[in-house]
Amino acid sequence: MKAREWGVLLVLSGAIFLEGIDIAMLNIALPSIRDDLGLSTGSLQWVVSAYVLGYGGFMLLGGRTADLLGRRRVFLIALLVFLLFSGLGGLAENGATLIAARFVTGLAAAFMTPAGLSIITTGFEEGPKRDRALMVYGAIGAGGFTLGMVIGGLLTTLDWRWVFFMPVGLSLVLLIAASVLIPRSPRPDRTGKRFDLLGGLTITAAVVLLVLGVERATHVGVGWTVGAIAASLALVGAFVAVERRTASPLVRLGIFRSGSLVRANVIGMMFIAGFFGFQFLVVLYLQELRGWSTIEASLAMLIMGIDVALAPTLTPRLVRRFGNAPVLLAGLVFALLGFALFLTAGTGTSYWGMLPSLVSMGMAFTLAYGPLTIIATNGIDEEEQGLAGGLLYTSFQFGAAIGLAGVAAVNVAATASGADQDLLAGYRAAMVVPLAAAVIAVVVGAFNLRGRAKEAAAEPELVGVA
């Protein structure tokens, strides 16, 4: 790649890193935020849920907007909004202001993330160069998830507000660099195309209700949860009906004929569900059961950040040798192994005893994140790359909601008291949720191998990355 191409790639990778650490840092800072602002547990949950609703609810609209209005323009505007409202979150003096700021920050990320990914998938020609770019992008993005808790723990010891101010500084640097480095491109040809307003409203409402139903499942009655999910499914049906009739659909339903795209989204949802659930349980285990400080717990998980070094160096070599599908599957198996190993952790397990599980999770991100992104976007028309990115990151966000809600519900149900053995029993019971998600991901990932084999049989002259 040329120097300018590397510059563009690093700026866009920095944006996905920013999005990853923003989520992870907040999780570790929540107890400090609650104590300082005097929030109830219910209000504290909304600090997380507001971001999830903004991000997950508007991702598809964000991806399609990038396709129609121009990816560079949408990326820059969204990054600016992200910067401003991250700063507002750091200045918040009450829960209402912080929750509102988190919602708008999530909404900005919903436009920024698919726009950034589609700039890569349209700016680098499909093949080895794009695959290399997506490997680097995926490695840095995964690093945001795995290193975010460490960075968040360090910043929280100073003041929880730095968890919001640090992204402001990084956003400003990225905004300046993006303005200079990302090349301008002609406005997309919108002849015969228009915004599918009705489709946008129905699918956004459907996703918001679905995420809200899952997120709040552990805090409200069963009837409320069932009602929210039922209303969401009804809106999905309405959305499908609208998309079939409109001349310019928000989501062209034919895109789901791509088996690799559908499998990638299912895998992404399950992989992230498992990771977020696992991360949540590990933090509880270290801090509640073992009595480790925030810094100690954060540093203990630092080893998972090995993906930052290995994903852009080791993974491309493995992909060139074996293809995306086998490398992705290997990453999913590492995730399953990591979850299973942590089941053996007890009240007196040393850090060295936990290390194999944490290293396995680092290897899972090393091998899975980049190939997953490639599989989800390869073969998609250029004019729908924003949509493909929006679908993938919607799956990620919904997966995070499922994972957190699932482990929280099982943990509460399985913990009889505050005794150490009861806490440990609750953690082990809840770990079944990440394990189940990983099993599903592995099974679906195995179907990618079948699809790859069929493609190779049909076109034996094609050699290279799957």
pLDDT at 431: 92
How many separate domains does the chain show?
A: 2
What is the maximal distance between C-alpha atoms in the chain? 66
CATH number at 389 reads 1.20.1250.20
**Domain shared by 211 and 259, yes or no:** no
Give the closest residue to 21 by CA, choosing from 177, 175, 215, 166.
166
Q: Pick the range with the lowest mean pLDDT from 130-134, 272-276, 462-466.
A: 462-466
pLDDT at 463: 34
Predicted confidence (pLDDT) at residue 385 exceeds the cutoff of 70: yes
pLDDT at 189: 60
In 175-227, beta strands by DSSP E:
none
Q: Does residue 460 sit within a domain?
A: no
**Domain shared by 429 and 318, yes or no:** yes
pLDDT at 76: 95
Determine whether 450 is exposed, middle or buried from the number of CB atoms within 10 Å of its CB (0-12, 13-18, 19+): exposed
Q: Kind and range of the H or E element at 415?
A: none
pLDDT tens readout for residues 297-343: 878 888 888 887 888 888 888 988 888 899 999 999 999 999 999 98
**Domain shared by 148 and 207, yes or no:** no
Q: Does residue 426 sit within a domain?
A: yes
Q: Does residue 57 sit within a domain?
A: yes
pLDDT at 456: 43
Give the closest residue to 333 by CA, choosing from 187, 214, 207, 440.
440
Mean pLDDT of the chain: 83
**Domain shared by 301 and 263, yes or no:** yes
User: Of 209, 225, 249, which residue constitutes the final position of a domain?
Assistant: 249
pLDDT at 418: 65
**Domain shared by 172 and 298, yes or no:** yes
Q: Pick the range with the lowest mean pLDDT from 89-98, 236-245, 331-340.
A: 236-245
Distance CA 241, CA 333 (A): 38
**Domain shared by 243 and 272, yes or no:** no
**Domain shared by 425 and 307, yes or no:** yes
**Domain shared by 132 and 228, yes or no:** no
Q: Does residue 466 sit within a domain?
A: no
Q: Pick the range with the lowest mean pLDDT from 69-73, 188-192, 260-264, 273-277.
A: 188-192
Contact 95, 37 (CB under 8 A): yes
Distance CA 105, CA 240 (A): 28
pLDDT at 82: 95
Predicted confidence (pLDDT) at residue 279 exceeds the cutoff of 70: yes
pLDDT at 46: 77
- 46 or 340, higher pLDDT: 340
- 53 or 351, higher pLDDT: 351
User: Of 249, 267, 282, which residue constitutes the final position of a domain?
Assistant: 249
- 323 or 464, higher pLDDT: 323
Highest mean pLDDT among 44-48, 86-90, 138-142, 386-390: 86-90
- 431 or 251, higher pLDDT: 431
pLDDT at 417: 67
Contact 285, 412 (CB under 8 A): no
DSSP letter string, 317-377: HHHHHH-HHHHHHHHHHHHHHHHHHHTT--TT--HHHHHHHHHHHHHHHHHHHHHHHHHHH
Q: What percentage of the chain exceeds 90 in pLDDT?
A: 26
Q: What is the mean pLDDT of residues 142-158?
A: 80
**Domain shared by 136 and 262, yes or no:** yes
Q: What is the mean pLDDT of residues 222-248?
A: 85
Q: Does residue 459 sit within a domain?
A: no
Count of CB atoms situated within 10 Å of the CB of 117: 31
pLDDT tens readout for residues 340-373: 999 888 888 899 999 999 999 989 988 998 899 8
Instruction: Show the domain range for 130.
Output: 3-183+250-452
Per-residue burial over 249-265, b = 16 or more CB atoms within 10 Å of its CB, e = otherwise? bbbeeebeebebbbbbb
The amino acid at 41: T
**Domain shared by 155 and 204, yes or no:** no
User: Of 231, 249, 267, which residue constitutes the final position of a domain?
Assistant: 249
Q: What is the mean pLDDT of residues 269-296?
A: 85
**Domain shared by 221 and 104, yes or no:** no
Per-residue burial over 55-81, b = 16 or more CB atoms within 10 Å of its CB, e = otherwise? bbbbbbbbbbbbbbbbbbbbbbbbbbb
The amino acid at 98: L
Query: pTM, whole model, 2 decimals?
Result: 0.81
Q: Give, rounded to a whole angstrom, the gap between the first and last alpha carbons of the chain.
A: 21
**Domain shared by 423 and 331, yes or no:** yes
